[in-house]
């Protein structure tokens, strides 16, 4: 299908990283786009994301998506308030954790086959490069050189602004109802249905209910994760301690660290936005292992991620004219420039990313929530 054969009018529901990217790409390629956001731009999961970006994936589809995302992040760097800070990403397994250690040894050559600039690294060399990183208990470590960190809430406003420059309409503080028509949208407080040729639901944890109201169930569950910042200015890489199940990274406030995954389904409206005491205790212990201290916490919070039965996203058409982008297992922000681009292209007539086709599930599957970052 050519661009002229694609939909003329498109509604995008959700102004997070994926939704604003899709809105920009759709508007740039000629669609008449209206972007609806129930609150503020980047006010949902994107604003609570870790801001870690890397292309270190062993599976070929994931690697290609991540590479494209990093390419676009670099192209947007320096525009508006968005800044991409190149920084090495290290993942490691501790002594005694042979399962994860072996998984890291197996992952690295597969990543290299996909063209990723990654390598196994001597833990002692890491400690020599990063003065505040402790590696005395590390069995295996690997480093991805083409990684970076960002302040995630700076990205969607940039893409929304670029979408508006291409002619899109951006409506914040506007919840919508999708229950009245296959591709109709009723903005909150209004009676009339706004008809669109296509509707993309990229509303994070709220996507499931919005699509259920539209009669299109999806196999997705929101789950809660947690993070904190500390004021300590430390010489550390972006680091994922696979054995401890937490990450850390440099941050404008000093240090950001987190995970705190709860493997139970969360209510997207009624969930605790504050970090739990058990998470803060676990992070104090984990950070003491990795940086030799338990830094004083400046802020802490919780956010929502979204899970699917096979841990791959739901990206594409769920029925004629109705599309979804969700189920990112905590990797949504880092892949958003590529995922938003891909779903926009599918709306305009391309084939999309076949392994992420949402119709591979019926929508009523029973499944367990699984930690998104775990090394396997």
Domains and CATH numbers, the chain: 3-50+153-219+309-360 (3.50.50.60), 87-146+221-307 (3.30.9.10)
Residues facing residue 53 across a β-bridge: 148
**pLDDT tens per residue, range 308-341:** 999 999 999 999 999 999 999 999 999 999 999 9
What is the CA angle 177-178-182, rounded to 5? 155
pLDDT, averaged in runs of 10, over the chain (376 residues): 68 98 98 98 94 96 97 98 98 97 97 96 96 97 98 98 98 94 90 95 97 96 96 93 96 92 94 96 95 92 96 97 97 97 98 97 95 72
The pLDDT assigned to 5 comes to 65
The SS3 of residue 235 is: coil
DSSP symbol at 295: P
CA distance 6 to 158: 25
Task: Tell me if 285 sits within 8 A of 295, measured CB to CB.
Answer: no
The DSSP code sequence of 123-176 is HHHHHHHSTT---TTEEEEEEESS-EE--GGGHHHHHHHHHHHTT-EEE-S--E
CA distance 19 to 203: 8
Burial 216-235 (b: 16+ CB within 10 A, else e): bebbbbbbbbbbbbbebebe
Q: What is the tens place of the pLDDT at every residue in 254-263?
A: 999 999 899 9
pLDDT at position 3, please? 43
Residue 176, Cβ neighbours under 10 Å: how many? Answer: 25
Q: How far is residue 67's CA from residue 17's CA, in Å, rounded to a whole number?
A: 17
Q: What are phi and psi of 132, to 5 degrees?
A: -100, 10
- Predicted pLDDT of residue 4: 44
**What CA–CA distance (Å, rounded) separates 53 from 60?**
17
Q: Taken in order 53, 55, 61, 64, is the CA torsion positive or negative?
A: positive
CA 334, CA 303: separation in Å to the nearest integer?
16
């Amino acid at each position: 299908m050519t661009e002229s054969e694609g939909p003329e009018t498109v509604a995008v529901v959700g102004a997070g990283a994926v939704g604003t990217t899709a809105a920009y790409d759709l508007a740039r390629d000629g669609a008449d786009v209206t972007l609806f956001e129930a609150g503020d731009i980047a006010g949902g999961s994107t604003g609570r994301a870790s801001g870690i970006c890397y292309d270190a994936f062993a599976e070929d589809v994931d690697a290609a998506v991540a590479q494209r995302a990093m390419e676009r992040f670099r192209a947007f760097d320096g525009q508006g308030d968005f800044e991409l800070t190149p920084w090495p990403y290290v993942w490691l397994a501790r002594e005694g954790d042979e399962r994860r250690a072996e998984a890291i040894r197996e992952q690295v050559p597969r990543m290299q086959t996909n063209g990723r600039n990654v390598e196994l690294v001597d833990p002692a060399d890491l400690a020599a490069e990063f003065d505040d990183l402790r590696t005395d208990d590390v069995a295996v470590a690997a480093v991805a050189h083409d990684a970076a960190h960002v302040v995630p809430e700076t990205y969607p406003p940039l893409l929304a602004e670029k979408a508006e420059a291409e002619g899109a309409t951006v409506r914040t503080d506007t919840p919508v109802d999708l229950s009245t028509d296959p591709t109709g949208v009723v903005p909150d407080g209004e009676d009339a249905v706004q008809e669109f040729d296509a509707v993309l639901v990229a509303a994070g944890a709220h996507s499931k209910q919005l699509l259920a109201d539209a009669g299109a169930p999806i196999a997705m569950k929101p789950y809660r994760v947690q993070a904190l910042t500390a004021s300590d200015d430390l010489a550390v890489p972006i680091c994922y301690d696979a054995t401890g199940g937490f990450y850390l990274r440099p941050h404008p406030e000093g240090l950001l660290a987190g995970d705190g995954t709860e493997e139970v389904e969360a209510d997207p409206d009624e969930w605790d936005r504050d970090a739990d005491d058990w998470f803060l205790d676990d992070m104090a212990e984990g950070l003491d292992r990795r940086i030799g201290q338990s830094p004083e916490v400046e802020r802490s919070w919780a956010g929502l991620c979204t899970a699917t039965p096979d841990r791959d996203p739901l990206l594409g058409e769920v029925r004629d004219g109705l599309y979804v982008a969700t189920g990112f297992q905590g990797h949504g922000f880092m892949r958003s420039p590529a995922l938003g681009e891909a779903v926009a292209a599918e709306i305009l007539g391309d084939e999309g990313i076949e392994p992420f086709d949402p119709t591979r599930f019926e929508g009523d599957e029973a499944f367990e929530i699984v930690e998104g970052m775990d090394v396997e």
